[in-house]
A and B are shown apart, each in its own frame.
Chain A
């Protein structure tokens, strides 16, 4: 640490000479050998500015590509994964960004979108799922193009499926072996609880949103997208 008194010990001429040395060091000019350590220091500091181009954030990537902000969500927690997994070069970021907006050929686009979805929580909507296109696509099964029969299949069960030997016509496919056609409702009277007076067999708690068993269905994880930050007004 230096003290203000350092300058007091230097004459004006010495100060001037030292300032000249400092300016030469900053310019990168040669200096007397006695200042070689300082020359090394200044050289090393300048070299810090020659590091690789850093990976831009999603927000910056959008700007660099001339896209309006907000097209790509900024997911801070995923940025590092993107850097490690996909690479830190601007080119890579550009390809990712281009893929994100569908500028690449279809095959490359799908690959990039897949890569982003693998390493980040970002999910890309299928462009064909845009609300304006809703209903445009109809399953070939539903139209009958696939099998000549209109309507969605699934009502019939192949005889090649496991458990086919246990099934009879009209029985539930979920019926356990040996009790074909007998459901739990049919056997309700066989349970000990059936004899208890005043018991309501309807379970009203299953619709309770606070039921721990339903907790995973009614809540979504908190968003990882941070709030937008206010920009500084630049000088000049």
Chain B
């Protein structure tokens, strides 16, 4: 699957080093996967995506000695932790918080990346508006498949449903998105 590999074929070496406690390997893992994990948490409406992402990677690095498997399995493992952290945060906050305001996103971006921050915020808002009209299960499945690049079976493990159910949720989710976009002149 294109774009899945983020360790340039060196995942096994990175994992070995990380399990031996090498800081460079920790940083490599964080650098490779934190953007996509943070993006997932952000579009899911996490209260503080960056903070939650840090919590996810603290859990990942603390428990990395127990992980066995290849890069795809590792990615799935990381997203499972991210998804559980997201659910924990939703329980803590009671409900989904309002989306990060554009002004706040710009403030966090710093002066060097205002244009990029605006573009990312607009993209996130567009995706999030569409995803908000899906059922929570459909949204989880679509985002885990598209952002997490998890397989049907991996998503099923993560959300605690059967593969058949996940496939049905995915189909309905895409059809719903298709209907939302049908009358819209897409110019992106």
A53 touches B35 (CB 8 A): yes
**CB < 8 Å: which of A7, A40, A54, A88 contacts B171?**
A7
Report Cα–Cα, A99/B43, bound state, in Å: 34
Interface residues of A in 43-92 (CB under 8 A from B): 43-57, 59-60, 63-66, 76, 79-80, 83-84, 87-88, 90
- Give Cα A125–Cα B28 distance, bound, in whole angstroms: 31
Taking the closest CB of chain A, its distance from the CB of B98, in whole angstroms, is: 17
In the complex, what's the smallest C-beta–C-beta distance from B25 to chain A, in angstroms? Answer: 10
Closest Cβ–Cβ distance, residue A63 to chain B (whole Å):
5
Q: Which of chain B's residues have a CB closer than 8 A to the CB of A84?
A: 107-108, 110
Given A40-B188, A53-B31, A231-B63; A46-B171 close (CB under 8 Å): no
CB pair A28–B172 under 8 Å, yes or no, is no
Tell me whether B145 and A26 are in contact (CB under 8 A): yes
- A17-60: which have CB < 8 Å to B? 18-19, 22, 25-28, 35-38, 40-57, 59-60
Q: Does B182 contact A (CB under 8 A)?
A: yes
A1 touches B176 (CB 8 A): yes
Chain A interface residue number, banded = 35 or more
* Docked-complex contact B113 and A236, CB < 8 angstroms: no
B130 touches A41 (CB 8 A): yes
Q: Tell me if B62 and A25 are in contact (CB < 8 A).
A: no
Contacts of A27 in B (CB 8 A): 1-2
Number of A-B contacts (CB under 8 A): 183
Within the complex, what minimum Cβ distance (angstroms) separates A164 from chain B?
A: 53
B107 cross-chain contacts in A, Cβ below 8 A: 84
- Name the residue on B nearest A58 (C-beta): B54
A235 at the B interface (CB under 8 A): yes
Could you say which of B38, B40, B63, B188 contacts A234, with CB atoms under 8 Å apart? B63
CA distance A46 to B143 in the complex (A): 9
Interface SS of A by simple majority: helix
| Residue A6 CB within 8 A of the other chain | yes
User: Are B85 and A232 within 8 A (Cβ)?
Assistant: yes
Please name the residue on chain B nearest to A43 by beta carbon.
B188
Interface of chain B residues 141 through 185 with chain A (CB within 8 A): 142-143, 145-147, 157, 167-168, 170-178, 181-182, 184
Distance in Å: Cβ of A109 to nearest Cβ of chain B: 19
Q: A27-B2, A60-B30 are in contact. Are A236 and B77 (CB under 8 A)?
A: yes
Q: Are A44 and B31 in contact (CB under 8 A)?
A: no
- Chain A residues within 8 Å of B138, by CB: 2
B136 to chain A, nearest CB (A): 11
Contacts of B167 in A (CB 8 A): 19
- The answer to whether A235 touches B59, judged by C-beta atoms less than 8 angstroms apart, is no
Which interface residue of A43, A54, A65, A234 has the most chain B CB atoms within 10 A? A54
Known pairs A234-B66, A236-B66 / 6 extra A-B pairs, C-beta < 8 Å: A41-B127, A44-B127, A49-B39, A51-B42, A57-B55, A236-B67
Q: Could you jot down 14 A-B contacts, CB within 8 Å?
A: A7-B168, A26-B1, A27-B2, A28-B3, A43-B188, A46-B147, A48-B123, A53-B31, A64-B27, A66-B21, A66-B22, A231-B59, A235-B80, A236-B73
Chain A interfacial positions (CB closer than 8 Å to B):
1-2, 4, 6-7, 15, 18-19, 22, 25-28, 35-38, 40-57, 59-60, 63-66, 76, 79-80, 83-84, 87-88, 90, 94, 229, 231-236
